[in-house]
Amino acid sequence: MVLMIKKIDIELIYALPNNQTLKCLQVSDGTTVEQAITLSELVKLFPEIDITKNKIGIFGKLVKPKTVLNHRDRIEIYRPLIIDPKEARRKRAMKRL
């Protein structure tokens, strides 16, 4: 008897100011976000990625590394913020005064 393992298509995205990377993968059904990031080897290209520190989302919604993926999910690995958005708005407002 031959077991058929269902495959799903996913995308992984990591963007820097001057470098955006998109990887398309086919993984086994039941693969987690964490496993997909490992399989993509993005960490080899971008050693600053740390899934224990970087926030991760699927189509803009934050998820945990153990989240199981669905067909055509797009994993987004977010960079840490340089400045808090509220603080940035405050600074811009002060410049206008």
pLDDT at 8 over 80: yes
pLDDT at 2 over 70: no
User: The whole model's pTM is what?
Assistant: 0.79
Residue written as token pair 């955006």: 20
Whether the Cβ atoms of residue 77 and residue 42 lie closer than 8 Å to each other: yes
pLDDT digits (tens, 9 = 90+) for 18-73: 889 999 999 999 999 999 999 999 999 999 999 888 999 999 999 999 999 999 99
Domains (ranges, CATH) in the chain? 7-96 (3.10.20.280)
Whether the Cβ atoms of residue 74 and residue 11 lie closer than 8 Å to each other: yes
pLDDT at residue number 1 = 66
Fill in the amino acid letter for 83.
I
